[in-house]
Structure 1
Amino acid sequence: MDASFKPVPAVSKCLAILRLLDTEVGQGMSLSAIAARLSLTKSHCLMILRTLLAEGWLTYDAERQRYGLAPSLLLDLAATIRRHDRGSVVQDILARLAEDIGLPCLLSRVNADGSFSCLHRVQGGHGLVINVAIGQHYPADAPAQMRARLAALSEEDAEAQLQAMPLRAYTGATTTDKAAIRREIAEARRRGFAVGRMEYLEGIGSIATAIADGGGQPGLVLQCTGPQAAMAPREEELGAAILAAAARIAVAWQLH
Structure 2
Amino acid sequence: MPLTSVKKNGKRRAGAPDTPAIQSLDRGLQILEAVGKSPEPVSLGQLAAMLGIDRSSAFRLAKTLKRRGFLTTPSAGRDYVLGSSVWRLSRQYDWSKMLARVAHEPLKTLAAQTHETAHLAVREGRKALFIDHVTTSHVISISGQTGELVPLYCTSHGKALLIDFEEQDLVDLLGPKPLKVYTKNTIQSIRSLAAECTSLREKGFATDESEYLEGVRCLAAPIRDRDGQVIASIGISAPAARFPREREREFAGLVVAVAAEIGELVGSLED
TM over 0.5: yes
Report what 1:170 is aligned to: 182
Distance 1:241 1:140 in 2: 22
Bigger Rg, structure 1 or 2: 2
Deviations 1:141-165 (A, max 9, x none): 3432332222234676356546647
One-letter amino acid of the structure 2 residue matched with residue 224 of structure 1: I
Moved more, 177-186 or 203-212: 177-186
Structure 2 vs 1, CA of residues 93 and 211 (structure 1 numbering), >3 Å: closer, same or farther?
A: same
**Residue segments in structure 1 that go unaligned for 5+ positions in a row:** 1-84
Conservation of the 8 A alpha-carbon contact between 1:195 and 1:207: yes
What is the CA-CA distance between 1:169 and the residue it aligns to?
Answer: 0.9
Distance 1:123 1:104 in 2: 4
Report what 1:147 is aligned to: 159
Distance 2:129 2:136 in 1: 20
Q: Does 1:202 align with 2:214?
A: yes
2:192 partner SS: helix
Report what 1:98 is aligned to: 111
Report what 1:233 is aligned to: 246
Conservation of the 8 A alpha-carbon contact between 2:135 and 2:143: no
Q: Say how many residue pairs are matched.
A: 171
Q: Does 1:222 align with 2:225?
A: no
Relative to the length of structure 2, the TM-score reads: 0.55
Report what 2:260 is aligned to: 247
Q: Does 1:133 align with 2:148?
A: no
Conservation of the 8 A alpha-carbon contact between 2:153 and 2:187: no
Conservation of the 8 A alpha-carbon contact between 2:221 and 2:259: yes
Deviations 1:164-191 (A, max 9, x none): 4751111122121444333321221111
1:135 partner SS: coil
Structure 2 vs 1, CA of residues 147 and 165 (structure 1 numbering), >3 Å: closer, same or farther?
A: farther
Conservation of the 8 A alpha-carbon contact between 1:98 and 1:125: no
One-letter amino acid of the structure 2 residue matched with residue 110 of structure 1: R
**Residue segments in structure 2 that go unaligned for 5+ positions in a row:** 1-97
One-letter amino acid of the structure 2 residue matched with residue 211 of structure 1: I
Instruction: State, as a whole percentage, how many aligned pairs show the same letter.
Output: 26
Conservation of the 8 A alpha-carbon contact between 1:193 and 1:207: yes
Q: How does 1:1-256 map to 2 (within 5 A)?
A: 87-111=100-124, 113-153=125-165, 157-158=169-170, 161=173, 164=176, 166-213=178-225, 216-231=228-243, 232-256=245-269
State the Cα RMSD in Å: 2.6
Relative to the length of structure 1, the TM-score reads: 0.58
Distance 2:199 2:102 in 1: 30
